[in-house]
Structure 1
């Protein structure tokens, strides 16, 4: 679902991307937890939500353990993101009550499919109807088949197909080193280009590249014919907590499109 915020920003809850209407190509990727928190605020704008309700709806409801401290940290992350987009006062703290998202919100919701018919009879097993063109149609209630019977019928076929696929892939199929993903240039560390998975504001990119440089200097220095892919959580960018992934990939000799191998660093604070 897409949320239009003050007719200036758009947040897509499916991709967790936030962007300015005037700059549709400059997206900010919101982390999973921050995305759930933002959706909770967007669903009830201009309304005070108490801290206990937010912790339950964002963490407990999804099987995670939430605390008042974690809620405060992610509220801070969202505020910094909106501040970078000139909407710094959009999340307000109501002392001793909770938080409020003060904005005009419009949701993009697909219209429901209309079922236009007039029932002519109310027989237990059959119903006749007229559609909008006046053509008679018939709806028949079918007897439900037991799920156990369906399982017994299809399970052998499914296992046989799975076995054949496994044999085929092991013998003939060699997956590529990379799937097709869009990488965005973040900057450079010495002679190595640094890429990330999403576009960000200039200030956000500078902070992200700075952290990538720190990780590279301690763990994966730049070497000839190589490049980096860097992907940290939003929480780490602002609070130095969370997950960080850095990989250094090296091209094959005399090639710029074939990779000989990659070395990864993954940190979770």
Structure 2
């Protein structure tokens, strides 16, 4: 389960990344901070007592929490959210607990799930397509940002957050391409061919006032080609993304 906060911040509890959907600026939360924010966002603006949060964030995971540590992590979350342009997201209710500010919208985003296939049946899965406006602009794209190895590495770092960059290219004179990670020239050429193939398969086009967001992660097993995502996004004023068509493949085999 991922979230869009106030229409501008994407939060993925799996890797703890808080990302501004327009600028691409990102903050990497620690495991505990991410778990705390996940619990608060799931509450749907309902009051969460200190006892509930201490149990669900610390006790249930084999750790010992305290009011002091809870206050510290609430402070970390507030600073992180404010650094990405959102203040007053988490409200303290004196002598009671915490809640999301009712004025702040929180949209739940369920990641696409491909059917689990047997090793002897490596058929290519069909894409999952959605068109949900800005609230799902980059929703699945960012789920593929960090590979499993990178996610484990970053999650156990002592720093409160980490940042990542976006990488740009062009498919044609009118259509720009945004890659979620840096890739070498040979890999980028292969990615461009893959992009063109996906567009042809789905009768998609990318022209004026549009951009493509692309990411592909190799599998850690010999039975899967990994995951591929392509989003055809429409841009509006100030080059901001307004809506996207998302194509997600599990086990896509490029030619």
Name the TM-score, length of structure 1 as normaliser: 0.42
Which has the higher Rg, Structure 1 or Structure 2? 1
Q: If each structure's strand is expressed as a fraction of its own residues, which one has the higher value? A: 1
Q: Which structure ranks higher in relative contact order (CA pairs < 8 Å, sequence separation ≥ 6)?
A: 2
